[in-house]
Amino acid sequence: MQINLITGISGSGKSVALRAFEDAGYDCVDNLPVTLLENLIQTLQSENCERVAVAIDARRGQTIGQLPQILENLRRHHQVRVIFLNADTNTLIQRFSETRRRHPLSGKRDAAQEATLIEAIDKERNLLEPLRAQAHSIDTSNLPAHALRSWMQDLLKDKPVGLTVVFESFGFKKGLPSEADLVFDVRCLPNPHYNKTLRPLSGKDQPVREFLEKIPEVVSMESDIIHFLDKWLPHYIADGRSYLTVAIGCTGGQHRSVYLVTRLIEHFQAQANLAALQINFLDRHRELDSLPAAAL
């Protein structure tokens, strides 16, 4: 059975992610108590269910600590993927303020005083940290719901075995992606933003591609990143990784980083030897994907 566990910080988009699985035909269960997970899987297996997505959070406190061992037990007989959704504290506070919802851990801090929202978020981070360390993490801080839904749909296309490498472009002016395992800073490369004709375009557009591919420094940067990954990807596989996020950052996340992610995905998807190693490749563009649908 393919088991997808969706977890993470409250307010980071678990409901959006679970709906993406539901739309893809998975059997979905929300807010399942940790102690019922194995029983649920046994029941679904007896009904010949092949794909399931389960959302679990930390609202039941310390029982979440049992989850890593439960997942290890399930992995003996099933394919298990853990997706961890995260966001920075300021973003979470804003979301809770907009929705006027209470945090699930905002109960009594002690006999006299209720926990603040920040205290509840910090407590939840601490409880879920063992899961985050073994999961595919997605930072939704700068990601609207439609972009997260699109990313989840792309994730559902990959194979839940082997190593999945995610190439993600981003803009440094909006901060580093918290889920990044490797970060390459390409702000030193010539910027198409200063060309008035290229400024409104992105690194996916042919005029920008033609501009950048003629610059020796850009070609050299691309070659160096490819050489680094060619050398070290087998080591990440040997380390037992399921996901590796390679983030490429420029100033605004529109031209240089988008171009290089596009070039990298083209290069690595064409490598037959990597397919034999069960490496799957996905691309994301944080700033472009965050644009309103009408602007895409």
Cβ-count burial 238-277 (b if 16+ within 10 Å, e if not): eeebbbbbbbbbbebbbbbbbbbbbbbbebbeeeeebeee
Task: Tell me if residue 237 falls in helix, strand or coil.
Answer: helix
CA distances from 127 to 8, 65, 101, 155, 215 (A): 10, 7, 21, 26, 48
Q: Which amino acid type is present at position 233? A: L
Distance CA 186, CA 46 (A): 52
CA torsion 89-285-245-27 (nearest 10°) is: 80
Q: Which domains does the chain have, with CATH numbers?
A: 2-155 (3.40.50.300), 163-295 (no CATH)
Q: How does pLDDT run along the chain (296 residues), one tens digit per residue?
A: 899 999 999 999 999 999 999 988 899 999 888 989 999 999 999 999 999 999 998 876 668 888 888 999 999 999 999 999 999 999 999 988 887 788 888 765 554 556 788 988 998 898 888 888 778 899 999 888 888 988 898 888 766 567 889 999 999 999 999 889 999 999 999 999 999 999 999 999 999 999 999 999 999 999 999 999 999 988 888 887 778 999 999 999 999 999 999 999 999 988 866 655 678 889 999 999 987 654 43
What pLDDT shows up at residue 153? 86
Distance CA 237, CA 296 (A): 35
Answer yes or no: are the C-beta atoms of 9 and 128 closer than 8 Å.
Answer: yes
Q: Model-level pTM greater than 0.85? A: no
Task: Tell me if residue 196 falls in helix, strand or coil.
Answer: coil
Distance CA 170, CA 172 (A): 7
